[in-house]
Amino acid sequence: MTLGTALSTARNSLKTSSGQMSVVSQNIGGARDTNYTHRTTHVQSGANGMVSSKVIRDDNPELLTNYLVKSSQSAAAAAINNGANQLSNIYGTNDFENSPSRLLDDFKKALQFYANNPSQRTAGDAAIDKAKDLANTLNAGSKAIEKIRTDTDSEIKDSVDHINDLLKQFQQVEKEIVNEKGSGRDGYAYMDQRDAILKELSQEIGITTVTHPDGTMSIYGMDDSTLYDKVPRQVSFSPSGPLPAGKAGSPVLVDGVPLSHDAFNSPNGSGKLGGLLKVRDETAPQYQKQLDEIANALTDIFKGPPALFEGGDETQVTGTAGRISVNPAFDSNTADGGPEKLGKDIQKLIDNLDKPRNFGNDTGLDNTQSITSYSKQSLSWIEGVRQSATSDNEYKSTMFSRAGEALSNETGVNTDDEMALMLQLEQTYSATARIITTVGKMLDDLMSAVR
């Protein structure tokens, strides 16, 4: 090897080492950024001692896809769990002392005491007070469910707005990636930003992606609707306003087409949006129906005349829990009012509380049973929903955490490894620099000898 060739090779090596150190510095700088993907410099030897290098972004599309799925499933489970806890907490405080089941038992006991002591008007007044407590707790429960649904509706609006904002951001980043590639640059920094947007988007809605030959992407929603293809598609939602019993919430539209509720079961997850829709449109209304059925049964059992409970409607059960009240005619504080209007056959009324009757469909409970057992089953149902949602949330959260760890281990930065590589590169750089210095001195000596 001539001195000139040795010098050229050393200089090429020095340039390559310098480039590698720059990439390692980038990696170390991005170590704390969870969206930064590790870069590796691949060095290749060519003819005449020439060395070339290429920087590769160590992405893993399969692990990223798994992360997006687990992210969406976890976000949906968290939203459902939050909604289930809110519904459970309507009556779940203080050992369910204000639940319809507990207050129905109290009312039944007070009625039995009055039936055993019909001459004691105070016993009758106590029974009427328990009836008022029962009606009031049904009213409160109906209002609480309405508020939960209305608040959830507002969260759906926030989620849709966030989705649209993320899709706009995605479009801007896609443009930068195309521009970078068109200029001969790698665009890796923008690819990191694109992955970050996808991760955030998957929290809001279940998504799948398709990468095209030019490096751009298309994004599809949890029901296979197109969210992004060259340009963002419009996701729209009009707030529903107050949501009393029986009122359906407004749908979420993607390009004008309603998002299907079947998408809740998508294997790719449904995200926070899907979880919120499930709470607003399925879980909460089903619980509302149960309370309405309890209230309607009470108005039927005590229909009199005169009726003890008012607000019932044989043709319209929906909303009875919010309307039910105790007839003032049974209140001793009103003119000519009093518990005597229950009549003499109070025991028959008490027995009817334990007799099987028919309840409506689509409540999640048995259709034929007594109102006493129905109210207890309703309480068990909502607690079962809460426990199931909590368990599912914990599981999905764990799986999401593991997916994040797997992605980070594969594509993230190990600072220790990078520092060790940096030290190795510095030693190579120093050795190469010494070679250049030595060759330079030899060339100087040769020139001096020639002169």
Three-state secondary-structure class, residue 18: helix
pLDDT range class, residue 433, cuts 50, 70, 90: low
pLDDT value of position 253: 93
Q: Is 39 in contact with 171 (CB distance < 8 Å)?
A: no
pLDDT value of position 147: 98
**Which one is predicted more confidently, 268 or 227?**
227
pLDDT range class, residue 312, cuts 50, 70, 90: confident
Which H helix or E strand runs over 41? strand 39-45
Strand 226-229 with 231-232, pairing: antiparallel
Q: Which two tokens stand for residue 155?
A: 């969260």
Residue type for position 391:
S
Radius of gyration of the chain (CA): 35
How does pLDDT run across 12-45, given as a tens digit for each residue? Answer: 555 566 656 778 788 888 888 889 999 988 776 6
**C-alpha closest to that of 4 among 443, 449, 393, 446:** 443
Residue type for position 50:
M
pLDDT of residue 429 exceeding 70, the answer is: no
Query: Per-residue pLDDT averaged across 57-72, rounded?
Result: 95
| Greatest mean pLDDT range, 150-159, 219-228, 429-438 | 150-159
DSSP string, 344-392: S-HHHHHHHTTS-EE--SSSSS-SEE-HHHHHHHHHHHHHHHHHHHHHH
The b-or-e profile of 91-104 (16+ CB within 10 A means b, else e) is bbeeeeebbbbbbb
Report the C-alpha gap between 137 and 149 in whole angstroms: 18
pLDDT range class, residue 383, cuts 50, 70, 90: very high
**Which one is predicted more confidently, 388 or 223?**
388
How does pLDDT run across 103-149, given as a tens digit for each residue? Answer: 999 999 999 999 999 999 999 999 999 999 999 999 999 999 999 99
pLDDT value of position 19: 59
pLDDT value of position 316: 86
Q: Phi-psi bin for 304: left (phi > 0), alpha (psi -120 to 50), beta?
A: left
How does pLDDT run across 316-374, given as a tens digit for each residue? Answer: 899 999 999 999 999 998 888 999 999 989 999 999 999 999 999 889 999 999 999 99
pLDDT range class, residue 190, cuts 50, 70, 90: very high
DSSP string, 249-283: PPPPEETTEEPPGGGGG-TT--HHHHHHHHIIIII
pLDDT value of position 42: 75
Q: Which two tokens stand for residue 382?
A: 């909502």
DSSP string, 76-135: HHHHHHHHHHHHHHHHHGGGGTTSHHHHHHHHHHHHHHHHH-TT-HHHHHHHHHHHHHHH
In the chain, count H helices and then E strands. 11, 13
Query: Per-residue pLDDT averaged across 239-254, rounded?
Result: 94
Q: Please give the mean pLDDT across all residues of the chain.
A: 89
Query: Per-residue pLDDT averaged across 429-441, rounded?
Result: 60
Query: Per-residue pLDDT averaged across 409-416, rounded?
Result: 87
Query: Per-residue pLDDT averaged across 52-80, rounded?
Result: 92
Question: Cβ neighbours of residue 32 under 8 Å, at least 6 residues apart?
Answer: none
pLDDT range class, residue 222, cuts 50, 70, 90: confident
pLDDT value of position 397: 97
How does pLDDT run across 394-405, given as a tens digit for each residue? Answer: 999 999 999 999
Tell the residue number behind the tokens 């050795």, with chain if given. 431
pLDDT value of position 101: 97
pLDDT of residue 300 exceeding 70, the answer is: yes
- Which range, of 55-59, 264-268, 423-427, averages the lowest pLDDT? 423-427
**Which one is predicted more confidently, 86 or 222?**
86
CA quadruple 17, 23, 25, 27: dihedral, nearest 10: -140
